[in-house]
Amino acid sequence: MQVSEHEILTIYRKGYSALTSLHGALYQARRDFFRDGVHKKGRISDQEDGMQVQLRYAISGGSFVWEKHSDRRLTERASSIPGGWALSFYNENGGVRSRTEYDGEHHLRRAEYFAPGGEVQESLSIIAEHPDELLWTRRQANGEQTETVLRACPVQMGTAEQAMIDSEAGEPQILAARLDGDFCYCTEEEYCRRDELRERLGSGAISTIPVFVPDKPLPEPADAQEEERAQEEALPPVLPQPQEIAVSDLMEQIQKMEEKLGMVRGRLCAEPEKMQNFPKKESTQPDVPKLAGELRSEPPGGRAAARYTVAKRGADGAVRAPGLCSGVHPVPPEAAEEIPRAVQSIVLSQTERYRYFGEMLDGLRHGRGRTEMPDGKTAYEGTYSRGRRDGLGAYYYKTGRLCYAGAWRNDRREGAGVGFRPDGGSLYAGTWRNDRPGGSGAVIGPDGSVCYAGAIENGRRHGVGASFHAKDGALLVARWQNGIPCGGVTLFDAEGRIRYTGRWQNGERHGMGTSYSADGQIEFTGQWQNGEPVSGIYYENGLPARALSPEKYQESDGKKKDRKM
């Protein structure tokens, strides 16, 4: 069997396949078959994208068996066709998403991509006379077909150089893993653009270190007068100073106010029925129930607010404000201002009872309501469903501090919300799952700075995220596991420049990695151990300068210890 170095092992089309499949099990099985030229077979059971995957395969000169299931759902299967085989990829509904055709010697000849209706939407075909090209056929909305010849352009996936090229030329839409490396297939115009960028990167005309440029240009600095005027406009208006009033004038004003207040009291006591039927002014504010002991703001116009009298709570739990009339005849209860009576008493223990104010359904808290602690502080205010917190609501610590504000489901925090620490310091804003932070969100420190932003699982940093160090402005982008960064990381300084990229362990550089200077030049690349370089190459002005061997590291480390002793 003749095998060309241009042999395509797997092919990726954005929108139809996953990028992880480019170097997956199919790639490895076909690569081993073409390199060794012997029969390949096996069974694989593994986790893939959070699902249990079962794969059975066999590749030989006269057969092709391939069957893959994800959580017992068929996702890939090979079948025989005239002159070769076809490997079909299925979507969640069981329909064919794409199909790859091979000839009798397992050489890839054609890849088809299907529309939801089942018709072929696009296809990629091998051009026998030009092994570095593909014929891209597409069906337009009017039913016509267009054909475009695509050229193979080498790519180095996962490198800084490739990221710079893709940022300028665009993300590749078609990728292929071949025996001689990875390639993207693009038009002639895009090929020339990528080739030009690759040459400029190789010559050093373009730096591989990303430069952070703001979306909008920064405003030019204003002169001193304009800056002072802008600061004055930003300040709140100055309140007028109180005028000096003579004591005799002040006593006269107090006497007049007392006379007016006495007339009002007499009118209230004489005609309580008329006052009850007096129409209230419609308010444009939302209908929010007043809480017990809530202080009203100063009335408009700058008038002095009336003195407050402490309301007393009765044995039944109801709170009534004292009447306005003076003398031995108190105001009847129906004419007094009454705080809403608790509609339910919630017994937690023999000594602790909570009160509930709000809507009820079949004897259960249902709708909008407020649950109050024994000392009058709010325990929860929001919506209920059949006695359980459900919808949007705010939950408080026993100290009165806010604990959580956001979405609830079946008495648990579920959805978007903000959680606060008991001391009122740091907070978490993001999604919640099963009463704990989960999904994605951000941790905000006591000073208001973002400590972490990214994936969260079971209340801990887990997944891809970025950690910000407020003291020196450093930013660490990494994959986290159970609250600890692990594997490969990238470290930026306060100016957004890469200072290190490589392996990380226990909060330090550990394993293979590369450090960079402030001007973007490579300082050292090689093996690190506990934050120190162990073996590798030091650079000066971008060129290799000297080598560090493990023996030299041990010798220098011993000298450091002697100096400390």
pLDDT for residue 543: 84
Mean pLDDT along residues 62-71: 90
Selected residue with higher pLDDT from 502 and 223:
502
pLDDT one-digit tens code per residue, 119-164: 899 999 999 888 899 999 998 888 889 999 999 999 988 787 888 8
Rounded mean pLDDT, 94-115: 92
pLDDT at 165 over 50: yes
pLDDT score of 249: 58
Q: Which residues pair with 43 in a beta bridge?
A: 56
| DSSP-based helix, strand, coil % in the chain, nearest 5 | 20, 45, 40
- Whether residue 216 is predicted with pLDDT greater than 60 in this model: the reply is no
Which residues 6+ apart lie within 8 Å of 361 measured at CB? Answer: 367, 386
**Among candidate residues 529, 527, 530, the one with its CA nearest the CA of residue 548:** 527
287 band by pLDDT with thresholds 50, 70 and 90 = very low
Diameter over CA atoms, the chain: 117
CA-nearest of 510, 449, 452 to 476 is: 452
Q: What is the pLDDT of residue 176?
A: 95
Which of 493, 458, 495, 460 is CA-nearest to residue 477? 493
- Does pLDDT of 488 surpass 80? yes
Q: What's the mean pLDDT in 63-86?
A: 92
Q: Enter the DSSP assignment of 128.
A: T
> What mean pLDDT do residues 91-117 have?
90
Does residue 194 have a pLDDT over 70?
Answer: yes
Q: Is the pLDDT of residue 344 over 90?
A: no
DSSP codes, 320-370: EPPPS--SSSPPPGGGS-BPPPPSEEEE-SSS-EEEEEEEEETTEEEEEEE
pLDDT digits (tens, 9 = 90+) for 16-52: 888 878 898 999 999 999 988 778 889 998 877 667 8
Taking the C-alpha atoms of residue 102 and residue 83, their distance in angstroms, rounded to an integer, is: 8
- % of the chain exceeding 70 in pLDDT: 72
**Banded pLDDT at 252 (limits 50, 70, 90):** low
pLDDT of residue 380: 93
* Residues 452 and 468 sit within 8 Å (Cβ to Cβ): yes
Query: For residue 286, is pLDDT > 90?
Result: no
What per-residue confidence (pLDDT) applies to 340? 61
The residue length of the chain stands at 565
Q: With pLDDT > 90 as the criterion, what percentage of the chain qualifies?
A: 30
Pairing of strands 96-103, 181-186: unpaired
3-state secondary structure 246-257: CHHHHHHHHHHH
Determine the 3-state secondary structure of 169 from DSSP: helix
Whole-angstrom Cα distance, residue 467 to residue 489? Answer: 11
CA distance 542 to 210: 17
505-540: pLDDT as tens digits: 887 888 899 999 888 888 899 998 888 898 898 998
Judged against a pLDDT cut of 60, whether residue 476 lies above it is answered with yes
Instruction: Please give the pLDDT value at position 559.
Output: 53
Local confidence band at 82 (pLDDT 50, 70, 90 cut-offs): very high
Sign of the four-CA dihedral 204, 206, 208, 213: positive
Q: How far does Cα 241 stand from its chain's mean position?
A: 50
Query: Of the candidates 177, 186, 181, 175, which has an alpha carbon nearest to the alpha carbon of residue 133?
Result: 186
Out of 108-117, 165-174, 258-267, least confident range: 258-267
Centre a 10 Å sphere on the Cβ of residue 505 and count the other Cβ atoms it contains. Answer: 17
For 505, residues 6+ apart whose C-beta sits below 8 A from its C-beta are: 486, 511
- Report helix, strand or coil for 223: coil
Torsion of CA 314, 315, 317, 321, to 10 degrees: 0
Strand 8-13, strand 40-48: pairing? unpaired
Would you place residue 315 in the very low, low, confident or very high pLDDT band (cuts 50, 70, 90)?
very low
Is the model's pLDDT at 234 over the cut of 50? Answer: no
DSSP state of 36: H
Phi, then psi, of 24 in degrees rounded to 5? -85, -155
Q: Are 552 and 538 in contact (CB under 8 A)?
A: no
pLDDT at 358 over 60: yes
Tokens of residue 121, six digits: 């939407």
Residue predicted with more confidence, 28 or 279: 28
- pLDDT digit string, tens, across residues 535-562: 898 998 878 888 888 765 555 555 555 4
Residue with tokens 């740091």: 426
Q: 555 φ, ψ to 5°?
A: -65, -45
| pLDDT category of residue 111 using cuts at 50, 70 and 90 | very high
Mean residue pLDDT across the chain: 76
Q: At residue 170, what are phi and psi to the nearest 5 degrees?
A: 100, 155
Q: What local confidence, expressed as pLDDT, does residue 266 receive? A: 58
